[in-house]
Amino acid sequence: MADLIEVKIGSEDDFKQLSKLDYTNICDKMFEVVCCNNQIFLNDISLPKPIINDSIGYTREIKEDVIKRLKNNNILSLVVFYNNKPAGYLLAKWENWPNGKVVSIDGILVANKYNKKGLAKAMLEKLIRIAKQDSECRGIHVEMDTSKYQASKLLMKMDFVFAGTKFYIYSNKDPEKYSKEAIYFYYKIL
């Protein structure tokens, strides 16, 4: 039997179920932002010591922030189901920018037991279809930090383009920790 992947608009109950999953992940690669000749590049670097992101912060965010935001009309919440069980979510918001409407991704997360099954890609494909149905939507915007290596690689495979960086937003003051920078990707519709 083939695995069933389905993406739907998420309900409060779906997110309550999602808050019970483990989102711990290990990052052993990240991007280094390099400026050269007035151009910005992303270089892959292997980390000498992996970064472990535990699940506590993710589940707290789902319980304390995400569920409250579901009632906002500007919020689009997608939940991916794997064999009929909630496995991850994508949260985005509709924004009016000077040149038109843009969908900004606020978060995308897949539980670790469902990683590498194409679930994040399925949610992004659904978001792109929804955005294209809005005749005023100019594109999709996402900000993340440079340690979100796999997510950034997926975005680039799906025709999102690297659109810039802001330094020192996520940087750590502790020299024992890795410095993370904000990087931006954009998917053009109009």
The per-residue pLDDT for range 11-23, each reduced to its tens digit, is 999 999 999 999 9
Q: pLDDT value at position 159?
A: 96
Percent of the chain with pLDDT over 90: 65
Q: Is the pLDDT of residue 172 over 60?
A: yes
CB burial of residue 79 (10 Å; 0-12, 13-18, 19+)? buried
Q: pLDDT value at position 91?
A: 96
Class of domain 5-188: alpha beta
Contact by Cβ (8 Å): 32, 180: no
Q: Is the pLDDT of residue 175 over 70?
A: no
Q: pLDDT value at position 41?
A: 80
Q: pLDDT value at position 178?
A: 61
